Amino acid sequence: MSEMQSASGDAPLFDQSFQTTGQIHVDCPRMTASRVDVYYGDKQAIYDVSLDIARNEVIAMIGPSGCGKSTFLRCLNRMNDTIAGCRVSGTIKLDQQDIYDKRLDVVPLRARVGMVFQKPNPFPKSIYDNVAYGPRIHGLARKGDELDEVVETSLRRAGLWVEVKDRLTSPGTGLSGGQQQRLCIARTIAVSPEVILMDEPCSALDPIATARVEELLVELQKNYTIAVVTHSMQQAARISQRTAYFHLGRLVEVGETTQIFTNPQHKLTEDYITGRFG
């Protein structure tokens, strides 16, 4: 891997024998990725990443900009399919089922593995319709009352109900940034996914809104498996049980969050969390 070189010297940062430090496997995984490579055209963005995601855990993914966190996350519900020229190899399983299987339909997959994006992206429709959209297209709630109930529970779970219950018909785009992000979370959990992928969900939010979303994640963890990409190490420390450190397309180290932050095993991880890199 001669093209992968450290920023400072000429010595290759990763050689052929590179292995992820720490426990990549868990006892009872919800999702397992093994030997995943991702290419954008000719350019490889992810190198040989294997990682398990346990049930009802929050796993944080950290690493310097451009290291492939978003790319890896988007593999987990095949959002990468929408990018022309993006190619994924290796296997990713959800409950023992290969999600890159040719016969697998991505629509139910994405209903099971939902995604919240970095920038809040509510539909330019009413708050109610934003949340109701998923249940409607999947036929989860047909009758009006049933749908009302799903919308209310989802908004309550997302901690937004009190703020919006009197204006469910006003446009979702009219909310504040933090409210919009919680609306997007409500929209995602309205279809009761098993896994929620979040790509820097708080990067557009102020500290108060961030705190609310973080509380929400801790709350949601009881029912969902959550994978969060974040640039804030404090945030990773507050909300996650496990942390995965990515560097230049490799999964360098993964382990208990407390261990990663207090006693990192790999030099690169240590450099990153002590602020010497990234």
Ligand X SMILES: Nc1ncnc2c1ncn2[C@@H]1O[C@H](COP(=O)(O)OP(=O)(O)OP(=O)(O)O)[C@@H](O)[C@H]1O
Q: Which residues bind Mg ion (CB under 5 A)?
A: 70
Which tokens hold the place of 12?
């290759």
Asked if 120 and 127 touch (Cβ cutoff 8 Å), the reply is no
- Could you tell which of Mg ion, ligand X, another protein, none binds residue 79, using a CB distance below 5 to 8 A set by kind? another protein
With contacts defined by CB under 6 A, name the span among 66-74, 92-100, 123-131, 217-225 that binds ligand X. Answer: 66-74
Q: Is 147 in the site for another protein (CB under 8 A)?
A: no
Using CB under 8 A as the binding rule, whether residue 115 contacts another protein is answered as yes
- Cβ at position 114, least distance to another protein in Å: 6
Residue 161 interacts with another protein (CB under 8 A): yes or no: no
CB atoms within 10 A of CB 163: 16
Tell which one of 77, 225, 235, 243 touches another protein (CB under 8 A): 77
Cβ neighbour number for residue 247 with a 10 Å cutoff: 24
Q: Minimal distance in Å, beta carbon 1 to ligand X?
A: 15
Separation in Å, CA 143 to CA 135, 138, 149, 193, 277: 11, 13, 10, 21, 54
Pairwise CA distance, residues 64 & 278, whole Å: 5
Sheet with 250-256, side-by-side order of all strands: 113-116, 195-199, 225-229, 58-62, 242-247, 250-256
Residue carrying the six token digits 């450290």? 6
Q: Is 83 in the site for ligand X (CB under 6 A)?
A: yes
Binder of another protein out of 39, 100, 123, 161 (CB under 8 A): 123
Residues 248-267 that bind another protein (CB under 8 A): none
Q: Which class for 3: exposed (0-12), middle (13-18), buried (19 or more C-beta within 10 A)?
A: exposed
Interface with another protein, residue 82, by CB under 8 A: yes
100 binds another protein (CB under 8 A): no
Q: How far apart are CA 275 and CA 265, in angstroms?
A: 16
By CB under 8 A, tell whether 72 contacts another protein: no
Q: How far apart are CA 225 and CA 203, in angstroms?
A: 21
Among 24, 49, 53, 67, binds ligand X (CB under 6 A): 67
For another protein, the binding residues (CB under 8 A) are: 77, 79, 82, 84, 107-111, 114-117, 119, 121-124, 133-134, 137-138, 173, 184, 187-188, 190-191
For ligand X, the binding residues (CB under 6 A) are: 40, 43, 45, 63, 65-71, 83
